[in-house]
Amino acid sequence: MSQQLSVTIVIPAYNEAEFIGNCLESCIAQCSLPEEIIVVNNNSVDETASIVYRYQAENPHINIRLLHQNDRQGITPTRNLGFDNASHDVIGRIDADSCISPDWVQTIRRCFQDPDIAAVTGPVFYYDMPLRRFILWLDDKTRQMLHRNARDEGFLYGSNMAIRASAWKEVRQLTHPDTENLLHEDIDLALTLVENNLPIAYDPTLVAGLSGRRVESSPRDFYRYATRYGRTTRLHGMRSRMAPIVTAILLLGYFPVHAIRRSYDAENRKLSFPIKAIQRERAAFRNAPDTRAFQTAPRGSQPDAAGVGRTRTPPTEPALTAPRLRPHRRSAPAPRT
């Protein structure tokens, strides 16, 4: 019987007081606990750090660490600091508004029993929006299609992924620093792994819930976000045949999901008439400044005093089919100049 792999979970955080408590609750509620949880605070000015300190004090049986990345704003250096300080076999990566399924760590340990697997990712759903089961089903089918058809490309989703620590050390200096915050750092990491013949797997049972705040951006800002995929692949010298498909999927899905998000009352679980939501969105778009609000950096709005540290019960994740790992391999590493 093979030895159980040890797991570190890394959570980048920037002004995440509204969500970090829920995220840590889902990590602590694992049926197979991680050996280490690292929260990397990136210049937060809200109560993020205080909430993490409270969870440290309340859960002495779990190694919860808080690191501070104050040198540069952005997801890439924040993620890198967490990965570099991870001290176990596998590094799980989620966002501060993620709520992982109770068997998430156990699924990661099972996936990495295959010694050929360097990284793994899975589907997500929005826990504070309606149609959660349908969104999870659609997300899973879309990611399976992308993984199956990406012959020379790799896909990782930063909100729900894990990488073998040895693989991270191998590609650490090859990933892009993204000093201008213009790339998808998770896609950059995935492409770097594939270029070095390090296989990525997709597992439909590795499920994470996310906040629907991701689709609250204006159409202008979301377009900038969607086109980062093509920019990231071009940086790797690729003429990606998947880039137009990924961009189209993101843009076509944005408007209906955005309208639903704006019309849904998550607290009362009620959906208002969609036409009113669309009218509100049009008015908001006409009056909205160009804020570049949709960034790859981990972000969150600062809540009011009543909302600081508020804990919500993570939703129950619907079960999917049996595990189907699909490793992606290349015959030889791509030459580097």
pTM of the shown model? 0.78
DSSP SS3 for 328: strand
- Alpha-carbon span 183 to 173, nearest angstrom: 17
Inter-residue contact 260 to 130 (CB < 8 Å):
yes
- Token pair 């929006």 is found at 129
Q: Which of 23, 201, 10 is nearest to 101 (CA)?
A: 23
pLDDT in tens, the chain (337 residues): 568 999 999 999 999 999 999 999 999 999 999 999 999 999 999 999 999 999 999 999 999 999 999 999 999 999 999 999 999 999 999 999 999 999 999 999 999 999 999 999 999 999 988 888 998 998 999 888 888 877 678 889 999 999 999 999 999 999 999 988 899 999 999 999 999 999 999 999 999 999 988 788 888 888 888 889 889 999 998 877 778 888 888 888 888 877 777 777 777 777 665 555 555 555 655 555 544 433 433 444 443 433 334 444 444 444 443 334 444 444 444 444 4
Write the burial class of residue 27 (CB in 10 Å: 0-12 exposed, 13-18 middle, 19+ buried).
Answer: buried
Domain boundaries, the chain: 8-235
Q: How far is CA 28 from CA 89, 192, 261, in A?
A: 19, 31, 29
First-residue to last-residue Cα distance in the chain: 43
Structure tokens at 11: 């959570």
- Alpha-carbon span 112 to 45, nearest angstrom: 37
Structure tokens at 116: 């050929």
* Domain 8-235 superfamily per CATH: Spore Coat Polysaccharide Biosynthesis Protein SpsA; Chain A (3.90.550.10)
Structure tokens at 182: 């213009």
Quote the DSSP letter at residue 318: P
Write the burial class of residue 2 (CB in 10 Å: 0-12 exposed, 13-18 middle, 19+ buried).
Answer: exposed
**Count of CB atoms within 10 A of residue 78's CB?**
27
